[in-house]
Amino acid sequence: MVVDTNEARLIEQIDHWVEPMNWRPDYASWREKRIWQERYQAERLALIERFGGELANSRILEISCGMGGTLVALAQAGAQPVATEFNRDYCQISKLRAERYDLNLPILNAVGEAVPFADNSFDLAICWDIVEHVQDPAAMLAELRRVIRPGGRVLLTIINRWAWRDPHYHIRGINWLPRTMADRLVANRLKTKQAMGLQDRQRLSEMHYYTMNQFRDLAQQHGFKVADMEALDIQHGSKRRAKGLKGKLRDLAYRLKLGLPAYYLYRDLVKGTYELVLW
């Protein structure tokens, strides 16, 4: 049997990063989705196209491309993506993933605060799950303003300062505590076997979480207007899927014609991650 050495290397490198999460009950399927990440991007590509414009032939910058699933899917959809990534291992994983499909995609080891591209280089930039981790979000926004052409857009996610269930540590109520107390709670949680996969994460006090108004003010300082993707969907009559109690409460709000006010209340006091469009 002929062994694809690139494929073996790709899986080996991915396993190095996902194996600490083997305590998950769904670990096998979760791992498989990371190995074949590019196959599970349809919903994200639809979101990017809905708020960022047509993908075909668009020059797109992905800051912090992670393991490259979205990057490769964008190329397969006809876009012209390039990426930066701070983690050198992730750069290599993304390159090997692209080589699966004979794609030679530019993936540069760089930080969001110093993007190595010329002014007005891109139609669109996407920044998923990165703003909270960079050293200087303001510097990153300045770089995005610089490299996006006039009329271009930026799609990014922001963590809510008051997120009820923290998106990184998955602890309920922790963001409502003083940061010093929250850091101690996380440190105690990390002593458990189930938290092995969290050992390399930043402390909450080191990450950048924002209320919507705080981030809007910061973005405006760099010449951006800001809109909430989910709020725009609600305004245009589109309902996102939700299960369980959240879905029932959402349906009730729509029946009472309170969809947008109910969403704003949920967004400000509970929601974990904002999906925003900047222009």
Query: pLDDT at position 259, please?
Result: 85
Quote the tokens at residue 109: 């080891």
For 71-90, the pLDDT digits (tens) are 999 999 999 999 999 999 99
What is the C-alpha radius of gyration for the chain, rounded to an integer number of angstroms?
A: 19
Which residue type occupies 104? Answer: N
For 259-277, the pLDDT digits (tens) are 899 999 999 999 999 999 9
The 3-state secondary structure of 204-241 reads HHHCCCECHHHHHHHHHHCCCCEEEHHHHHHHCCCCCC
Residue 191 — pLDDT band, cuts 50, 70, 90? Answer: low
| Cα–Cα distance measured from residue 200 to residue 253, given in angstroms and rounded to the nearest whole number | 40
The mean predicted confidence, pLDDT, of the chain is 92
Mean pLDDT of 155-177: 95
Q: Which of 278, 279, 276 is nearest to 129 (CA)?
A: 276
pTM for the model stands at 0.90
Q: Across the beta sheet with 226-228, what order do the strands follow? A: 107-109, 80-85, 59-63, 122-127, 148-159, 273-278, 226-228
Mean pLDDT of 210-239: 94
Mean pLDDT of 129-149: 97
User: Above 90 in pLDDT, residue 249?
Assistant: no
Mean pLDDT of 122-139: 97
> 140-154, 197-211, 212-226: which range is least confident on average?
197-211
Residue 1 — pLDDT band, cuts 50, 70, 90? Answer: very low
Task: Give the up-direction half-sphere exposure of residue 278: CA atoms within 13 A in the CB hemisphere.
Answer: 27
Query: pLDDT at position 126, please?
Result: 98
Quote the tokens at residue 216: 């809007």
**CB-count burial class (<10 Å; 0-12, 13-18, 19+) for 95:** buried
Query: pLDDT at position 247, please?
Result: 76
The percentage of residues in the chain with a pLDDT greater than 90, rounded to a whole number, is 80
The percentage of residues in the chain with a pLDDT greater than 70, rounded to a whole number, is 95
Residue 165 — pLDDT band, cuts 50, 70, 90? Answer: very high
CA 205 vs CA 61, 67, 159, 174, 182: distances in Å:
29, 26, 13, 12, 8
Residue 136 CA, chain-centre distance (Å), reads 17
